[in-house]
Amino acid sequence: MNDHEDMIVKVTNEQEFWNELDALVSSDSITTHGQIDDVLRSYLDFAAQYRQEYLFSEYDVARYCYKLLDATVFQRHQQYVRRQMLFCLLQEDEVALVHLSAAVLLYDGRSSEATFEMMQDEAVFPRLVDLIRVRSDDEPGLHRLLLELMYEMSRVQKLTRDDLSFVDDAFILYLLQLVENLSEDVDDPYHYPIIRVLLVLNEQYMCFSNAPPSPSNSNGKSGPVANRIIKLLSLHGPSYRTFGENIILLLNRESALSPQLLILKLLYLLFTTPSTYEYFYTNDLYVLVDVIIRNLLDLDHGDNDLTMTSDGSEKDGQRALRHTYLRVLCPLLKNTQIAREGSYYKREEVRKLLYLLVDRSSAHFAPVDETVLRLVLRCRQIDWLREEGDELDQEIERKLNTAMPAPDQSHLAKKLLGMSLNQDSGSSLSVDEAAAKVTKEKPSLPAPRRRRPTVKAPLAKKSWGAMSTANLLSAPLPPLPVPQHADRKASRSPFVDEGEDA
């Protein structure tokens, strides 16, 4: 695209630069593909020449992109312009052109997921892997943008086996090492984009974890795909603990549904894989227990950002999120050093939390469903949480025996979570369905975390109703409720145990 350099207008100040960009895309008479190509070449080449002078901030790059995306030439020829930008990303080696074309695709894709679908159709994912591998300290903005583009592309759709084959051990270790290397920089802009890429890659691996062999597949590629993130944390976990510290920190801060689910799904795998039982420091596990207690108490009260939608889907999202938190809580309390070291952290608070989750008479909670009953009973059967003659366990069993089976809502669970309903570790659905209802929100970027402090990190305070979380858990337990049927409209958990439906 450098054939037109001799036609590039010379400018001497920022206002002239932006005026020229407006002029390049302002014509309403651009109709043929040849005319569109000329406009795009001029638009890219002109900006590339002055990128270091006038496009040095993320705001400036976004402004540049939206001038094109709002222009008539794009509005009338969206698919063609997208494809030309995509080919520029695939074929160009000049840093400036890669940066600008990737930025246009990212901002366009955030408004129309058709862009990311086109990227997959044209096999852009391997190109992104190669570009991210070669990190230049002189181009930090480009590297972060490529990470965000990979995340957004992988967030809305299931990648192919061939795509995932380009993610080798070296690439995962490279991302984990970046988190470690930058952990001391409080202003580091890379932690969140890198972590989100790792989380969404874990989701992609889960999509293939239960894939059955396909005899019709002529290339012989079928069945499960190894989860390289879990594999490498199993082998090298102590060397990459900053990643674990950061996902707990993000879970503590996050209020949007989709990011919480991505984090919880990775935590579940870590706490159910023997070689990663002790990946986290004990103090970090204590923080995680506090976060889960607080979030489970907050969920039913609606004091978070998960508001009800007109079709009721957000209520179902809250229910699914509550199930997922409980799924993570059980192996966290059972398999990690919290149980083995005898600290029994927050034992009474956890017991009272589990009581409140099944006490339908409490004004703070929505009606209990069958899945919550099963998950609470499983948690209460952990040795160090049990007490001789616990009446609540008997009450839960009575409720389960009298509860009517919940209607099959596997389609809902799939849309919300992208998870299989057959095995705990599975995720048989493509990520685009999981994103359909829960990933339209764009979470704000949290400040990166410093190296793990010697004292436990404080939790963000959330209050709800007249009682704080601490006051609620310290209050004496009320009498056991009268047995009632479980909520017949409850959705199913994303992690169904073997034999749970027997």
pLDDT digits (tens, 9 = 90+) for 195-231: 999 999 999 999 888 666 555 444 556 667 889 999 9
> In this predicted model, which residue has the larger pLDDT, 484 or 365?
365
Whether 57 is covered by a domain: the verdict is no
pLDDT in the model for residue 400: 65
pLDDT in the model for residue 462: 37
pLDDT greater than 80 at residue 154: yes
For residue 340, what are the CA distances in angstroms to 234, 353, 388, 462?
Answer: 19, 22, 21, 31
- Cα(202)–Cα(425) distance, rounded to whole angstroms? 11
> In this predicted model, which residue has the larger pLDDT, 258 or 367?
258
Where b means 16+ CB within 10 Å and e means fewer, 51-81 reads beebbeeeebbeebbebbbebebbeebeeeb
Max avg pLDDT among 16-30, 209-223, 403-417: 16-30
Which of the four pLDDT bands, split at 50, 70 and 90, describes residue 119?
Answer: very high
| Structure-block tokens of residue 380 | 């209460």
Which of the four pLDDT bands, split at 50, 70 and 90, describes residue 368?
Answer: confident
> In this predicted model, which residue has the larger pLDDT, 170 or 27?
170
Whether 338 is covered by a domain: the verdict is yes
**Least confident residue range of 47-51, 402-406, 407-411:** 407-411
Work out the average pLDDT over 406-431.
Answer: 39
Whether 32 is covered by a domain: the verdict is no
Work out the average pLDDT over 398-420.
Answer: 47
User: pTM of the full predicted structure?
Assistant: 0.78
pLDDT greater than 90 at residue 373: no
Q: Which of 368, 246, 345 is nearest to 296 (CA)?
A: 368
8 Å CB contact between 196 and 146: no
- For residue 198, what are the domain limits? 174-211+238-502
8 Å CB contact between 433 and 281: no
pLDDT greater than 80 at residue 1: no
Whether 366 is covered by a domain: the verdict is yes
Residue written as tokens 């990303």?
Answer: 89
How confident is the prediction for the chain on average, in pLDDT? 76
**Tens of pLDDT, residues 467-500:** 344 554 555 444 433 333 333 333 332 333 333 4
- Going by the DSSP 8-state scheme, the letter that residue 464 receives in this structure is B
Whether 150 is covered by a domain: the verdict is no
Which of the four pLDDT bands, split at 50, 70 and 90, describes residue 41?
Answer: very high
- Cα(70)–Cα(65) distance, rounded to whole angstroms? 9
Work out the average pLDDT over 262-287.
Answer: 95
pLDDT greater than 90 at residue 355: no
pLDDT in the model for residue 454: 39
For residue 488, what are the CA distances in angstroms to 112, 249, 301, 396, 485?
Answer: 37, 36, 20, 16, 8
- Cα(299)–Cα(295) distance, rounded to whole angstroms? 6
pLDDT greater than 70 at residue 6: no
Whether 112 is covered by a domain: the verdict is no
Whether 58 is covered by a domain: the verdict is no
Give the chain's domain count.
1
pLDDT greater than 60 at residue 112: yes
pLDDT in the model for residue 137: 65
**Tens of pLDDT, residues 309-324:** 444 444 677 888 999 9
Whether 419 is covered by a domain: the verdict is yes
pLDDT in the model for residue 28: 84
Residue written as tokens 């004292």?
Answer: 455
> In this predicted model, which residue has the larger pLDDT, 278 or 466?
278
